[in-house]
Structure 1
Amino acid sequence: MEFLTGENVLLNVSPMKGMMKFSKRGKLSPRYIGPLEVLECVGLVAYRLALPLNLSSVHSVFHVSMLKRYHSDNDYVIKWDSIVLDKDLIYEEKLIAILDYDVRKLRTKEIKSMKV
Protein backbone atom coordinates (compact mmCIF):
# COMPACT_ATOMS: atom_id res chain seq x y z
CA MET A 1 0.00 0.00 0.00
CA GLU A 2 1.38 3.41 -0.93
CA PHE A 3 0.33 6.93 0.01
CA LEU A 4 1.18 10.23 -1.65
CA THR A 5 2.39 13.37 0.09
CA GLY A 6 -0.61 15.49 1.08
CA GLU A 7 -3.02 12.54 1.06
CA ASN A 8 -5.27 11.96 4.10
CA VAL A 9 -5.05 8.68 6.02
CA LEU A 10 -6.54 7.13 9.15
CA LEU A 11 -4.26 6.03 12.01
CA ASN A 12 -4.87 2.71 13.76
CA VAL A 13 -5.15 3.21 17.52
CA SER A 14 -6.61 -0.15 18.50
CA PRO A 15 -4.23 -2.25 20.59
CA MET A 16 -2.61 -5.47 19.47
CA LYS A 17 -4.45 -8.70 20.19
CA GLY A 18 -4.32 -9.50 23.87
CA MET A 19 -3.28 -5.98 24.95
CA MET A 20 -5.87 -3.61 26.39
CA LYS A 21 -3.86 -0.41 26.56
CA PHE A 22 -6.46 1.96 25.11
CA SER A 23 -9.56 0.62 26.80
CA LYS A 24 -10.95 -2.18 28.90
CA ARG A 25 -13.59 -3.05 26.29
CA GLY A 26 -11.86 -4.17 23.13
CA LYS A 27 -15.01 -4.60 21.07
CA LEU A 28 -16.28 -1.01 21.28
CA SER A 29 -12.95 0.81 21.49
CA PRO A 30 -12.14 3.17 18.60
CA ARG A 31 -10.13 1.60 15.79
CA TYR A 32 -8.92 4.58 13.77
CA ILE A 33 -8.52 8.32 14.30
CA GLY A 34 -8.12 10.91 11.62
CA PRO A 35 -8.02 12.10 8.94
CA LEU A 36 -4.32 12.94 9.22
CA GLU A 37 -2.20 14.34 6.42
CA VAL A 38 0.86 12.49 5.07
CA LEU A 39 3.86 14.85 5.22
CA GLU A 40 6.48 12.61 3.61
CA CYS A 41 7.50 9.06 2.84
CA VAL A 42 10.34 7.86 5.09
CA GLY A 43 11.82 4.73 3.57
CA LEU A 44 9.78 2.13 1.72
CA VAL A 45 7.08 1.37 4.29
CA ALA A 46 7.10 4.30 6.74
CA TYR A 47 5.25 7.63 6.57
CA ARG A 48 5.50 10.85 8.58
CA LEU A 49 2.10 12.24 9.56
CA ALA A 50 0.97 15.71 10.65
CA LEU A 51 -0.24 14.96 14.18
CA PRO A 52 -2.46 17.33 16.22
CA LEU A 53 -1.10 19.10 19.30
CA ASN A 54 -2.63 16.66 21.81
CA LEU A 55 -0.58 13.85 20.18
CA SER A 56 2.68 15.81 20.15
CA SER A 57 4.35 13.33 22.54
CA VAL A 58 3.83 10.48 20.03
CA HIS A 59 6.47 9.82 17.36
CA SER A 60 5.19 11.05 14.00
CA VAL A 61 6.52 8.21 11.78
CA PHE A 62 4.27 5.16 11.36
CA HIS A 63 4.52 1.87 9.49
CA VAL A 64 2.16 1.37 6.55
CA SER A 65 0.35 -1.39 8.47
CA MET A 66 -0.86 1.22 11.01
CA LEU A 67 -2.46 3.36 8.27
CA LYS A 68 -5.69 3.07 6.32
CA ARG A 69 -6.75 5.00 3.25
CA TYR A 70 -9.20 7.81 4.08
CA HIS A 71 -12.43 8.12 2.10
CA SER A 72 -14.57 11.22 2.38
CA ASP A 73 -17.52 9.26 3.84
CA ASN A 74 -17.57 10.50 7.46
CA ASP A 75 -19.86 7.80 8.89
CA TYR A 76 -17.10 5.51 10.17
CA VAL A 77 -14.48 8.08 11.26
CA ILE A 78 -13.95 9.00 14.91
CA LYS A 79 -12.56 12.52 15.06
CA TRP A 80 -9.38 12.80 17.12
CA ASP A 81 -10.66 15.87 19.00
CA SER A 82 -13.69 13.93 20.33
CA ILE A 83 -11.40 11.62 22.33
CA VAL A 84 -9.01 13.08 24.90
CA LEU A 85 -5.82 11.00 24.81
CA ASP A 86 -3.21 11.09 27.56
CA LYS A 87 0.49 11.10 26.78
CA ASP A 88 0.40 7.29 27.23
CA LEU A 89 -2.36 7.06 24.58
CA ILE A 90 -4.99 6.16 27.18
CA TYR A 91 -8.47 7.67 27.18
CA GLU A 92 -11.38 7.62 29.58
CA GLU A 93 -14.74 6.33 28.39
CA LYS A 94 -17.77 8.33 29.47
CA LEU A 95 -21.37 7.18 29.27
CA ILE A 96 -23.76 9.60 27.57
CA ALA A 97 -27.19 8.09 28.31
CA ILE A 98 -28.81 4.80 29.26
CA LEU A 99 -31.47 4.04 26.64
CA ASP A 100 -32.83 0.75 27.88
CA TYR A 101 -32.47 -1.56 30.87
CA ASP A 102 -33.35 -5.26 30.96
CA VAL A 103 -33.04 -8.17 33.40
CA ARG A 104 -33.11 -11.71 32.03
CA LYS A 105 -33.87 -14.45 34.50
CA LEU A 106 -32.31 -17.87 34.12
CA ARG A 107 -32.83 -20.84 36.44
CA THR A 108 -30.26 -19.82 39.02
CA LYS A 109 -29.17 -16.28 38.18
CA GLU A 110 -30.21 -12.97 36.72
CA ILE A 111 -28.37 -11.24 33.87
CA LYS A 112 -28.63 -7.45 33.76
CA SER A 113 -28.10 -5.61 30.47
CA MET A 114 -28.13 -1.94 29.52
CA LYS A 115 -28.26 -0.22 26.16
CA VAL A 116 -26.05 2.89 26.25
Structure 2
Amino acid sequence: LPEELSRVHNTFHVSNLRKCHADEPLSILLDGLHFDDKLHFVEEPVEIVDHEVKRLKRSQISLVKVRWNSKRGPEFTWEREDQFRKKYPHLFAKTASS
Protein backbone atom coordinates (compact mmCIF):
# COMPACT_ATOMS: atom_id res chain seq x y z
CA LEU A 1 0.00 0.00 0.00
CA PRO A 2 1.14 3.60 -0.53
CA GLU A 3 2.65 5.43 2.44
CA GLU A 4 -0.52 7.57 2.86
CA LEU A 5 -2.49 4.39 3.57
CA SER A 6 0.08 2.77 5.84
CA ARG A 7 -2.42 2.60 8.71
CA VAL A 8 -4.80 0.44 6.66
CA HIS A 9 -4.25 -3.23 7.39
CA ASN A 10 -2.67 -4.82 4.33
CA THR A 11 -3.88 -8.38 4.98
CA PHE A 12 -7.37 -9.42 3.89
CA HIS A 13 -9.31 -12.65 4.23
CA VAL A 14 -9.65 -14.62 1.00
CA SER A 15 -13.45 -14.15 1.08
CA ASN A 16 -12.89 -10.41 0.51
CA LEU A 17 -10.95 -10.96 -2.70
CA ARG A 18 -12.68 -10.51 -6.06
CA LYS A 19 -11.44 -10.60 -9.62
CA CYS A 20 -10.45 -7.11 -10.71
CA HIS A 21 -11.68 -5.83 -14.04
CA ALA A 22 -9.69 -2.61 -14.04
CA ASP A 23 -11.13 0.30 -15.94
CA GLU A 24 -8.49 3.01 -16.07
CA PRO A 25 -10.91 6.00 -16.05
CA LEU A 26 -12.38 4.73 -12.77
CA SER A 27 -9.04 4.76 -10.96
CA ILE A 28 -8.34 7.74 -8.70
CA LEU A 29 -4.88 9.15 -8.08
CA LEU A 30 -4.08 9.60 -4.40
CA ASP A 31 -2.23 12.87 -5.07
CA GLY A 32 -5.35 15.04 -4.95
CA LEU A 33 -7.01 13.28 -2.01
CA HIS A 34 -6.70 14.30 1.63
CA PHE A 35 -7.49 12.06 4.60
CA ASP A 36 -8.08 12.89 8.26
CA ASP A 37 -6.61 10.91 11.17
CA LYS A 38 -9.40 8.28 10.86
CA LEU A 39 -8.75 7.87 7.12
CA HIS A 40 -11.96 9.62 6.06
CA PHE A 41 -11.88 11.73 2.90
CA VAL A 42 -11.50 15.44 3.59
CA GLU A 43 -13.59 17.40 1.12
CA GLU A 44 -13.80 21.16 1.36
CA PRO A 45 -16.27 23.55 -0.26
CA VAL A 46 -14.75 25.73 -2.96
CA GLU A 47 -17.44 28.35 -3.54
CA ILE A 48 -21.12 29.17 -3.29
CA VAL A 49 -22.59 29.28 -6.78
CA ASP A 50 -26.31 29.87 -6.17
CA HIS A 51 -28.86 30.77 -3.52
CA GLU A 52 -32.50 29.69 -3.22
CA VAL A 53 -35.35 29.98 -0.72
CA LYS A 54 -37.64 26.97 -0.37
CA ARG A 55 -41.10 27.99 0.74
CA LEU A 56 -43.04 25.54 2.87
CA LYS A 57 -46.55 26.00 4.27
CA ARG A 58 -45.45 27.91 7.38
CA SER A 59 -41.75 28.53 6.93
CA GLN A 60 -38.94 29.31 4.54
CA ILE A 61 -35.59 27.58 4.26
CA SER A 62 -32.62 29.36 2.71
CA LEU A 63 -30.38 27.07 0.67
CA VAL A 64 -27.03 27.58 -1.01
CA LYS A 65 -25.61 25.58 -3.90
CA VAL A 66 -22.02 24.68 -3.07
CA ARG A 67 -19.22 23.51 -5.34
CA TRP A 68 -16.93 20.95 -3.63
CA ASN A 69 -13.37 19.82 -4.38
CA SER A 70 -14.73 16.27 -4.44
CA LYS A 71 -12.99 13.51 -6.36
CA ARG A 72 -15.54 10.81 -5.55
CA GLY A 73 -18.95 12.36 -4.83
CA PRO A 74 -21.15 15.01 -6.39
CA GLU A 75 -19.41 18.22 -7.41
CA PHE A 76 -22.41 20.39 -6.40
CA THR A 77 -24.85 20.02 -3.49
CA TRP A 78 -27.60 22.12 -1.95
CA GLU A 79 -27.01 22.88 1.74
CA ARG A 80 -28.97 24.77 4.40
CA GLU A 81 -27.58 28.28 4.54
CA ASP A 82 -27.79 28.72 8.33
CA GLN A 83 -25.83 25.53 9.06
CA PHE A 84 -23.37 26.13 6.26
CA ARG A 85 -22.73 29.75 7.35
CA LYS A 86 -21.74 28.54 10.84
CA LYS A 87 -19.31 25.96 9.49
CA TYR A 88 -17.80 27.92 6.56
CA PRO A 89 -18.25 31.68 7.18
CA HIS A 90 -15.31 32.56 4.91
CA LEU A 91 -17.32 31.51 1.84
CA PHE A 92 -20.02 34.06 2.64
CA ALA A 93 -17.46 36.85 2.94
CA LYS A 94 -16.47 36.11 -0.69
CA THR A 95 -20.06 36.29 -1.96
CA ALA A 96 -20.82 39.50 -0.04
CA SER A 97 -17.81 41.33 -1.50
CA SER A 98 -18.55 40.36 -5.12
Q: Give the TM-score normalised by structure 2.
A: 0.49
Relative contact order higher in (CA < 8 Å, ≥ 6 apart): 1
Tell me which structure has the larger Cα radius of gyration.
2
Task: Give the number of the structure whose residues are more often helix, by fraction.
Answer: 2
Task: Give the number of the structure whose residues are more often strand, by fraction.
Answer: 1
